[in-house]
Amino acid sequence: MAKTLNPSGKKHRFNKAWMHEHVTDPYVKEAQRLGYRSRSAFKLIELAEKDKLFRRGMSVVDLGAAPGSWCQVLRERLGPQAKILAVDILPMTPLPGMTFVQADFSSDEGLAAVQAALGAARVDLVLSDMAPNLSGIDSVDQARSVHLAELALEFASTALQPGGDFVVKLFQGAGLAEFQRAVAEHFVKVYVRKPKASRDRSREIFIVAKRRLDR
């Protein structure tokens, strides 16, 4: 969701240095070889293997799903009986056997659309790879990142079955410790992870919360 222009109006994402890093990135090359839509597939694979997130036939909600590489991993690893609900404000080509809702999850209307697609069912795993449109102002971007994570946590606290797991991306910085404490109120175990596929310069981290408490 990141914008391609910084506040000064100069292009930054697709400059020569970025392009060189992108085309030589081993995760980009491996994603292309395996047919994943983006390199972020490997972030989910590492998180899932480290924290035992997957089992065949489970039900999952993937927030911030576009372009769909996490859904590809889910479909591969969970089998044809799994139920996958993908959500993003951006359009995405859905995969066979999954449901895609194009909506702004941060709006009341978007949340209602997700809840309508989910129905009364509770799920086993909620994933959130949502990220804000970046302004280039660290304090603003951090606040937006935490806000999206809080929305995902609020959703997970009601959509997950007791014992279900939650994974959410946000940035290192102000509000992270408070958010971790909020997550710990709902789950038995809470971990901070930075997958190897996350670029070193990136401030992104993932909170992995295991076993939602039954309250």
CB 60 within 8 A of CB 78: yes
The C-alpha atoms of residue 36 and residue 183 are separated, in whole angstroms, by: 30
In the DSSP assignment, the letter for residue 86 is E
Residue 168 tokens, joined? 């959410």
Q: Which sequence positions are flagged as catalytic?
A: 169
- pLDDT reading at 3 higher than 70: no
30 — pLDDT class (breaks 50, 70, 90):
confident
Residue ranges and CATH numbers for the domains of the chain are: 38-212 (3.40.50.150)
List Cβ neighbours of 71 (8 Å cut-off, separation of 6 or more).
62, 65, 84, 86, 94, 95, 98
Q: Look up residue 146 and give its amino acid.
A: V
CB 129 within 8 A of CB 70: yes
Phi and psi for 209 in degrees, rounded to 5? Answer: -115, 125
pLDDT in tens, 131-167: 888 888 888 989 999 999 999 999 999 999 999 999 9
- pLDDT reading at 11 higher than 70: no
List Cβ neighbours of 47 (8 Å cut-off, separation of 6 or more).
53, 167, 193, 195, 206, 208
pLDDT in tens, 40-98: 999 999 999 999 999 999 999 999 999 999 999 999 999 999 999 999 999 999 899 89
